[in-house]
Amino acid sequence: MRVPILKQGNYLIASIQSALSDEDLLQLRDDLGTQVGRFRSRGAIVDVTVLDVVDSFAVRTLRTIAHMLRLRGAETVIVGLQPEVAFSMVQLGLTLGEVATALDLEEGLSYLDRGIKRVNSHG
């Protein structure tokens, strides 16, 4: 199932609705890549609240998305990781590296807002 991507001001919100196949993940990566360019977004939020399994491929894809979007000028935040998922990820040694995470959509948005303020005050 294709992941809907919503535009919200300067940000894109990819709200995952159901378990994803590997193809769906790659589709999400490509969609975000194009849409960030089209809307000139400054940030993207991937909401994984519904996922109760996050495997190594998903983690790698999320990392790729974050690196890719950074090169296109947007910050990525993963939000809504469930406690069980977070715990099994660290047990399996799956890390998101430098990718930002937040508790939920609201937190993710405020994280991006702060980031933009930082950039603006510096520039």
Give the binding site for other proteins (CB under 8 A): 78-79, 81-87, 89-91, 95-96, 101-104, 107-108, 111
Q: Rank residues 68 and 96 by Cβ distance to other proteins and give the closer one.
A: 96
**At its nearest, how many Å lie between other proteins and the CB of residue 79?**
7
Look at residues 58, 47, 45, 51 and name the one whose alpha carbon lies nearest to residue 85: 51
Q: Rank residues 39 and 51 by Cβ distance to other proteins and give the closer one.
A: 51
Torsion sign, CA atoms 40, 43, 48, 53: positive
**At its nearest, how many Å lie between other proteins and the CB of residue 103?**
4
What are the b/e assignments for 19-32, b being 16+ CB within 10 Å?
ebeeebbeebbebb
